[in-house]
Amino acid sequence: MGYNEQKAKKMYDLFVQGKPCRKVYGAVEKDGKFIVLKNPADRKYKYSIAGGTVENDEDNIVAIKREILEELNINVEVVKSLGFLNWKQNWVFEGKEFQMPYEVEIFLTKFVSYSNRKSLGLEGEFSKDITVCEVSKEEIMQNVYEFVVGNFKIN
């Protein structure tokens, strides 16, 4: 089973159980700037923030710390939740069409330390075109999907 089929099966299993797909994303503050991912292929939003799916045995705090560690090679402290986004996405698994509900929590986090290297970095989760950069608070609030759509503010 390929990656997309595995993902569709996972979504279908959650759907059948009546559970949403839970995701977490975190804005990482470091020395007055924010660490973001830049994807030149995304023409609508300049940047994205680290995050991903909450695993079965995790709470959202554990999940966001793990996702940021995996994606950026850093340890963070969770400062606070900025709120939730909810939406539905159409999926097909083995010919069955369904609408998967998503529940996404957005966090403000703060850089604590590098993990196994002394620099930011991606651990192979993304294409080579995606890079890590640091931007201002204004940039993140104007150019990251979750902040634009959710109208989240960083105070």
**pTM flag (> 0.75):** yes
Please give the CATH superfamily to which domain 3-150 belongs. Answer: Nucleoside Triphosphate Pyrophosphohydrolase (3.90.79.10)
Question: How do residues 73-113 score in pLDDT, each as one tens digit?
Answer: 899 999 999 999 999 999 999 999 999 999 999 999 999 99
Residues contacting residue 134 through CB under 8 Å, at least 6 positions apart: 30, 33, 34, 35, 36
Q: How many CB atoms lie within 10 A of CB 67?
A: 24
Question: How do residues 50-69 score in pLDDT, each as one tens digit?
Answer: 999 999 889 999 999 999 99
**Burial class for 65, CB neighbours closer than 10 Å (0-12, 13-18, 19+):** buried
Residues contacting residue 89 through CB under 8 Å, at least 6 positions apart: 99, 100, 102
> What's the confidence (pLDDT) of residue 122?
60
pLDDT reading at 121 higher than 70: no
Question: How do residues 19-57 score in pLDDT, each as one tens digit?
Answer: 999 999 999 999 999 999 998 887 789 999 999 999 988
* Angstrom distance (rounded) from CA 71 to CA 126: 8
pLDDT reading at 123 higher than 60: no
What is the enclosing helix (H) or strand (E) of 146? helix 145-150
Q: Which two three-digit tokens encode residue 122?
A: 């991606």
> What's the confidence (pLDDT) of residue 120?
65
* Angstrom distance (rounded) from CA 65 to CA 55: 12
Token pair 């703060």 in the structure block, residue: 110
